[in-house]
Structure 1
Amino acid sequence: MCGRYASIKAPADLADEFRAVDATEGVEPDYNVAPTKNVVAVVQRHPRDAEGTPDPDTTERSLRVVRWGLVPSWSKDPKAGARMINARSESAAEKPSFRKALQARRCLLPADGWYEWQRGPEHKQPYYTHYADGSSLAMAGLWEFWKPKDDPGNLYPDGLVTACVLTTAAVGPLAQVHDRMPLVLPPSAWDRWLDPDAGSDSVTDLIVPPSAELVATMELRPVSALVNSVRNNGPELLDELAAEDVAEPLQLDLLAGPNPR
């Protein structure tokens, strides 16, 4: 996890929800976000003047379009990003591909929900997880800027901005589907996570599995295998699968409770 998710809300709505400026120039709803696609990220940076000098006294939070699959700044080939859509939160601080981004380039990747596949002896059942109240999930992410040293074909004149999702151990009933889940941060953690002046040591306490109370505000439902193909991309992907079509139903009685956010 995380290998697919849904990003449906309009940028204007996300900007309101995350208290950010919309700098996306518009994006289409995507019910089947897959690796290497362009996605929306929430970042917070010091604004720069015409000469490119950052203002140390001010920060601006904005929605940006990035490519899903982190390409380290030192990478020779941007294709490496397809293999780095996720970073294990437990080891990101030690990995050369992620540690600099964890130190200074953290972001949030808004999602309406994410898909995960339960693997059984004779089945592979997709599930969709989302907040019951319709709020956006804020998946903790890292971003990087990559520009080739030599670009004879002028393929990347403006460089490439990429991102990955931090993952953590699955909590409660979610572990019945998969042992990993995205690191979902509550709104109370957003400011500190996005702070460009806060180093990785200052957010260590945020890099832990979400609380059982937070997970209890989520809904988890089986969905059609249509989501298996990236060619399928519509609201029908979110429809709940009939109980009789689920090979091994989950025990979901724990997924209920007050919203602690």
Structure 2
Amino acid sequence: MCGRFTQRLSWEELHRLADLIGQPRNLAPRYNIAPTTQIEVLRPAETGGNELVQMRWGLVPGWWKKPLKDLPATFNARAETVAEKPMFRTAFKTRRCIIPASGFYEGTGKAGAKTPHYFSARSGEPLAFAALWEQAKHPGTGEPLTSATIIVGAANNWMNRFHDRQPVILDWRDANAWMRRDDPGALQRAPLEDSLNEWIVSTRVNKAGAGDDDASLVDPVETVLL
């Protein structure tokens, strides 16, 4: 699955890769993004092109009325069932988006003592996670609540050494097709075997919080730091 990722993004690069429109803004780097926090999401703009919008990571369907603390984990959606699951099927049909990421983390080893690994594109470009977004009302305040989820599928042979699941990563040339095509199922495939880099990073990434969100989290380490 994908429970931590990074966004060190450039507006100019997203403009080139994804037909990004709108007023350029500085994008604060994030190195330890955890579920339920705000993330940057690309979605189709009403006027054409694509817009970059901040959303809650963890999809809240439009029909959800209970407190958010009762919501099941919805930061990932399984590619095999996303078109049928009540939590995701409406968004999959009409509100597909892309979550751009500079990399993501997965852990190996026993629970409670996992070794974190960082994965990024060998090309140096941002990764394009296939994703869904939804518009709802906050069940507590009634305010508009926009949220998103990352679609995950079976790992390819290379990734399977670390985890049996991985985000569905799109080629940027397929970005508009994913967000606008009536039937995007064929695009939900594992990336090429040689598309990612991997290295071990500090176990500080296992902690979520403002005190553990800095650039050194993605630095390679020879031994896992405490």
Asked if 1:181 corresponds to 2:181, the answer is no
Asked if 1:134 corresponds to 2:124, the answer is yes
Tell me, which stretches of 5 or more residues in structure 2 are unaligned? none
1:68 matched residue in structure 2:
57
Deviating more after overlay: 6-15 vs 65-74? 6-15
1:235 matched residue in structure 2:
215
Structure-2 separation of matches of 1:215 and 1:122: 29
Shift of 1:166: 0.1
| Partner residue of 2:203 out of 225, 229, 239 | 225
Shift of 1:193: 0.4
| Partner residue of 1:107 out of 97, 101, 104 | 97
Mapping 1:8-23, distance limit 5 Å: 8-22=8-22
Q: Which protein shows a greater Rg? A: 1
Whether the 8 Å CA contact 1:5–1:32 is kept in 2: the answer is yes
- Pair 1:121–1:228, CA change in 2 (3 A): closer
Structure-2 separation of matches of 1:15 and 1:179: 33
Amino acid at match of 1:207: Q
Q: Any idea what the Cα deviations from partners look like across 1:204-247, whole Å, max 9, x if unmatched?
A: 1112223xxx23021011111010111301111111121xx26x
State the aligned residue count.
221
Shift of 1:18: 1.7
2:188 matched residue in structure 1:
207
- Pair 1:69–1:81, CA change in 2 (3 A): farther
Structure-1 separation of matches of 2:162 and 2:178: 28
Structure-1 separation of matches of 2:121 and 2:170: 12
Q: Any idea what the Cα deviations from partners look like across 1:17-36, whole Å, max 9, x if unmatched?
A: 32211468554210011101
Structure-2 separation of matches of 1:4 and 1:66: 16
Whether the 8 Å CA contact 2:78–2:152 is kept in 1: the answer is yes
Secondary structure, aligned partner of 1:6: strand
Q: Any idea what the Cα deviations from partners look like across 1:151-171, whole Å, max 9, x if unmatched?
A: 6xxx343x0100000000111
Secondary structure, aligned partner of 2:213: coil
Asked if 1:119 corresponds to 2:109, the answer is yes
Shift of 1:132: 1.8
Structure-2 separation of matches of 1:237 and 1:44: 32
Q: Which runs of 4+ in 1 moved over 6 A?
A: none
- Pair 1:121–1:16, CA change in 2 (3 A): closer
Whether the 8 Å CA contact 2:42–2:99 is kept in 1: the answer is yes
Amino acid at match of 2:176: D
Secondary structure, aligned partner of 2:6: strand
Structure-1 separation of matches of 2:67 and 2:179: 25
Structure-2 separation of matches of 1:86 and 1:121: 20
Q: Any idea what the Cα deviations from partners look like across 1:157-207, whole Å, max 9, x if unmatched?
A: 3x0100000000111221111110000001221121011xx32xx211112
Secondary structure, aligned partner of 1:172: coil
Deviating more after overlay: 159-168 vs 233-242? 233-242
Q: Percent identity?
A: 32
- Pair 1:22–1:16, CA change in 2 (3 A): farther
Amino acid at match of 1:42: L
Taking structure 1 as the reference length, what is the TM-score of the superposition?
Answer: 0.78
- Pair 1:40–1:122, CA change in 2 (3 A): closer
